[in-house]
Each structure stands twice: as C-alpha cells, then as structure tokens.
Amino acid sequence: MWWFLFLAIFGLFCIVIQTNPILNCYLFPIKPDFTIPLTFYICLFQKPVQGCFLVMWLGFLMDLFSGGIMGIFLFLRLVLFCFVLILKKLLFLENKLLWVGVILLLFLLDSLLIHLLFGLMGKNWGTLVIILKTSVSQGFFTFLLSLLVFPFVNKFENAYKRTADKIGLWILIKK
Amino acid sequence: MEPGAFSVVSYFQETINTFFSFPVRVWGRYVFLIETEKKNQILNQEIKMLRQENAFLQESALANQRLRKLLEFKKNIPYKLVAAEVVGVDASLSFESFSINKGRNEGIKKGMAVLCPDGAVGRILKEADSFSVVLLLIDQGFALDALVQRTRTQGVVEGIGGGFCQLKYVLGSEDVRLGDWVIASGLEGFFPKGTIVGKIVSLKKDKLSAFQEVIIQPMVNFKKTEEVFVVLDLAL
C-alpha cells in the first residue's frame, strides 16, 4: 500500500517537474515526459490491477496539466500499459538495453496515437516525419533525465523493503 | 674617467643588487604567494557573491520594468482585470497551454480572455479554486473571431501549432497584405474589441479555393510570458 502511494506521489512529482516553466525554458531543450518511462516501470514491477490504477492516475494528472480534451492521456497511458503488458508476455524484458528500446517505442506509439486521434478530430498535428523526429528526441532526452530520477525510486524501494522486513521480523518476535 | 668609473661601479652595484634581491624575490613571489593565494580565494568568493547579488538586482530591475508595464496596461484598459502569474507549462508536447495561479476564488470562469501588454494570450480552459489552465492562441483547439485592422476583413483565428495561428474564412477577393495587424473583433463576448492578436506573416491564394490561407504570428512570446491578465468583465 505504501509503495503504491509512493509511486502515486512520485508520479505527481514528475509531472510537476515537467510542467515547471523555469526548468522548461532554461534547462530542458525539449519537454520531457516522465509518465511514459514511469508507465513502463509500473508495468514491469507492479501487479497489473495496482499498475492499472497508477497508470490511470498518471494519465489523469497529464490531462489535468495539459490543454487537451479531458481523458485523452488517461486513455493513451492505458493503451501503453496494455501494450507493455503484452510485450512483457512475449519478450524476456530483463535486459536494460532492451528497456531503452521499449521506452523509445512507447514514445513513438504515443505520438502516433495522438496523431491518429487528432486526425479523427479533424486536426492536424504536424507531418508524420516531424512527429517521429520529435518523439524520438523527446524519448531519448527523457531517457537521459530518467537516469537521474529513477535511481531514487530504486533506492527508496530498497529502503522500503528493508524497513518492511524489519517491521515484519519485529512483529514475529513480539508474537 | 668619471663615466667609465661610474659604469664599472654600476655593474658592481647591479650584481650586488641582483644577489640581494634574489631572496627577496623568492620570498615575494613564492613564499609570500601562500598569503596571496588565501587572499585570492577570498576575493574570488567575494566576486561570486557580488555576481550573485548583481544577478538578483538585475532580476529585480527586470521584474520592476515588467510590472510597471503591466500596471500601465491595467490603467489604460477600462475593464475589470485580474493579474496572474504563470506557474506551469503544458505537460505534453501535443497541446499549447499554461497554468496560472488564480482561479474561481478570484472570479475566473471558463472561456474568459487572457491578455498581456503585447496582446491576446488565450482563454481559460479549466479552472479550480486558485488555479486555472489557459489555452494559448497557438493551440489547435483555440478559435477567436477577429478582424484585419486595416480593411476590417473578418475571419476566425485558429491555432495551428508551431507558434503560429491561421485566419480562416478570408475570401480570396479580400484585400489582405503581409504585415497587416489582426485584432479581436469583440463579437464573441470575452476578448475586448481591438486586442492585438498578431501580424500577418504569410499569404497564399489558391485559385481552386474560395478562401485565402492567412498565417499570423502572435505578438506575444509565449515562452517568455510570466504575468498575464484575465478579463473578468467587459461591461465595466
């Protein structure tokens, strides 16, 4: 439960970082999207139902902090989540280099889906080439930033597990 | 005789001086440098502090200039305005919006116009108690009834992304030129009439189409906008 809450708060933290105007103007050459690597992480290491709720939360936050139609990112993140779930069953996702490839693939898929949805709504969101270029560079840049952000999640997870083990032992001893 | 003796003595004097000045130079240039290094460190720190202080002062001066401009703008506009600060940009690459730190508590409602001294910024898309999201002019979901100031040609401004807008439904026969100003017509009830939207930067006339393709560059630099005004009431 605590871990679930931590990931939910961490998601909020990531969104706040990526919407910060100061960081976006001076630090980031292209707006990163931490929700995609986080969706991948959640899908790999969380139970499907918990993960689904977390991804819905991330999508909801994206909808809240963006000027799009409410629900568009919730839908997109759920699609990505399902895609990774299927991929997880098909591929042996232990190799970290493969993770990079999958994350880039998720960025591409996300952009293509947005392009498709925009097309359905009768809007034009750039040409396919621009979309592919933008999504690849955004994906790569987000991946680089994720290398700075995600070790914190791992460290917190390890600390959390150790504390949980200690508490469990303590309860056993008391009994 | 005297000059010759003087030159010999001066050579001697120079040699003696060099001999004695050597330890002094060693002391001054090497041993004493330890003290100089300390001083250098202190001075470097002072420089850093002064540089920081200078940056703060420059920032305050710029903020002062910006706020003065905003104040003048507010004085000149006869409508009820609420000043707000930009606190966040859009979370995605697909849409163009930003968040401001004022909301329902200040009387802000969905659809209200958002301006800055340079011109129209966008409109309120969603609002919370003390937070709102502004849909920018350049977003594809934005639409505004507008006029070409010189000829009073009417059209609808729509965002096309990439920092530009388009003036739609301008007939091919209309006299529209590059560099013409596009202003809000005031017909849709939220934007004050005459608010600058942007300048025409591209024109395309297609023989097959009844309308011209008019591209507008907004006057507002959305990446550098820090403070905006929300128009609460046009009736005042």
Domain that holds residue A47: 2-149
Distance of alpha carbon B105 from the chain centroid? 28
Does B90 contact A30 at a Cβ distance shorter than 8 Å? no
| Any domain includes A169 | no
> Going by CATH, does the domain composed of B80-236 fall within 2.40.10.340?
yes
Predicted local confidence at residue B2, as pLDDT: 62
Q: What integer is the mean pLDDT of B187-198?
A: 87
Q: How confident is the model at residue B210 (pLDDT cuts 50, 70, 90)?
A: confident
Distance of alpha carbon B167 from the chain centroid? 25
Q: How confident is the model at residue B95 (pLDDT cuts 50, 70, 90)?
A: confident
Query: Domains in chain A: how many in total?
Result: 1
Would you say B146 and B167 are in contact if contact means Cβ atoms under 8 Å apart?
Answer: yes
Joined together, the tokens standing for residue B196 give: 């600058």
| Alpha helices (runs of H) in chain A, residue ranges in sequence order | 2-19, 21-22, 35-45, 48-64, 72-90, 96-120, 128-174
B235 touching A, CB under 8 A?
no
Report d(CA B21, CA B6) in Å as an integer. Answer: 21
Out of B88, B93, B136, name the one closest to residue A19 (CB).
B88
Q: Which chain A residue's Cα is nearest to B92? A: A66
- The amino acid occupying position A151 is P
- The amino acid occupying position B65 is Q
For residue B133, which residues of chain A lie inside 8 Å, CB to CB?
65-67
| Any domain includes A156 | no
Closest-CA distance of chain B to residue A162, Å: 35
B131 touching A, CB under 8 A?
no
CA nearest neighbour of A85 among A117, A138, A49: A49
Q: What integer is the mean pLDDT of A149-174?
A: 72
Does A67 contact B224 at a Cβ distance shorter than 8 Å? no
Does B161 contact A125 at a Cβ distance shorter than 8 Å? yes
User: Is residue B27 predicted with pLDDT exceeding 80?
Assistant: no
Report d(CA B143, CA B148) in Å as an integer. Answer: 15
For residue range B126-137, what is the model confidence (pLDDT) as tens digits? Answer: 888 888 999 999
* CA-based torsion, B70, B73, B75, B80: positive or negative: negative
Q: What integer is the mean pLDDT of B194-217?
A: 88
Q: Which chain A residue's Cα is nearest to B125? A: A67
| Any domain includes A51 | yes
Strands B143-148 and B181-184: antiparallel
Predicted local confidence at residue A171, as pLDDT: 66
Q: What integer is the mean pLDDT of A131-158?
A: 76
B5 touching A, CB under 8 A?
no
For residue range B145-188, what is the model confidence (pLDDT) as tens digits? Answer: 999 988 989 999 998 878 899 999 998 888 888 999 999 988 88
Predicted local confidence at residue B59, as pLDDT: 79
Would you say B147 and B153 are in contact if contact means Cβ atoms under 8 Å apart?
Answer: yes
| Any domain includes A162 | no
Question: Mean pLDDT for chain A?
Answer: 80
Question: Mean pLDDT for chain B?
Answer: 84
Q: What integer is the mean pLDDT of B110-129?
A: 90
User: Is residue B62 predicted with pLDDT exceeding 60?
Assistant: yes
CA nearest neighbour of B168 among B124, B200, B136, B134: B200
Q: For chain B, percent helix, then strand, then coil, each to nearest 5? A: 35, 35, 30
Closest-CA distance of chain A to residue B147, Å: 23
CA B227-B229-B232 angle, 5° bins: 155
Residue that has been written with the tokens 């060693």 in this structure? B26
Q: How confident is the model at residue A167 (pLDDT cuts 50, 70, 90)?
A: confident
| Any domain includes A173 | no
Joined together, the tokens standing for residue A33 give: 């999207």
Which H or E element spans position B63?
helix B33-76
Higher pLDDT, A93 or B232: B232
Least confident of A48-52, A107-111, B31-35: B31-35
CA B12-B13-B18 angle, 5° bins: 100
Predicted local confidence at residue B8, as pLDDT: 65
Domain boundaries in chain B?
A: 2-61, 80-236
Rounded to whole angstroms, what are the CA distances from B41 to A76, B17, B47, B128? 55, 33, 10, 51
For residue range A3-32, what is the model confidence (pLDDT) as tens digits? Answer: 788 888 888 888 888 887 766 666 666 788
DSSP annotation of B51: H
User: Is residue A169 predicted with pLDDT exceeding 70?
Assistant: no
Least confident of A102-106, B5-9, B175-179: B5-9
Which H or E element spans position B10?
helix B2-26
User: Is residue B236 predicted with pLDDT exceeding 60?
Assistant: no
Instruction: Report the 10 Å Cβ neighbour count for B147.
Output: 22
Predicted local confidence at residue A26, as pLDDT: 62
Predicted local confidence at residue B163, as pLDDT: 85
Predicted local confidence at residue B230, as pLDDT: 92
Strand, helix or coil for residue B213? strand
Q: What residues contact B68, with CB distance under 8 A and at least 6 apart?
A: none
Interface test mutation site (partner A, options B94, B98, B136, B226, max chain A beta carbons within 10 A): B94
Report d(CA A61, CA B132) in Å as an integer. Answer: 14
CATH code where residue A37 lies: 1.10.1760
Q: Which chain B residue's Cα is nearest to A111? A: B94
Closest-CA distance of chain B to residue A89, Å: 29
Would you say B184 and B144 are in contact if contact means Cβ atoms under 8 Å apart?
Answer: yes
CA nearest neighbour of B231 among B129, B135, B95, B106: B106
User: Is residue B12 predicted with pLDDT exceeding 70?
Assistant: no
Closest-CA distance of chain B to residue A17, Å: 9
A28 touching B, CB under 8 A?
no
B162 touching A, CB under 8 A?
yes
Closest-CA distance of chain B to residue A168, Å: 40
Q: What integer is the mean pLDDT of B94-113?
A: 89
For residue A66, which residues of chain B lie inside 8 Å, CB to CB?
90-92, 94-95, 97, 133
DSSP annotation of A139: H
Predicted local confidence at residue A98, as pLDDT: 78
| Any domain includes A154 | no
Report d(CA B60, CA B66) in Å as an integer. Answer: 10
B99 touching A, CB under 8 A?
yes
CA nearest neighbour of A50 among A86, A95, A11, A3: A3
A66 touching B, CB under 8 A?
yes
For chain A, how long is the longest CA-to-CA vector?
Answer: 66
Q: What integer is the mean pLDDT of A46-60?
A: 90
CA B227-B230-B235 angle, 5° bins: 145
Does A21 contact B95 at a Cβ distance shorter than 8 Å? no
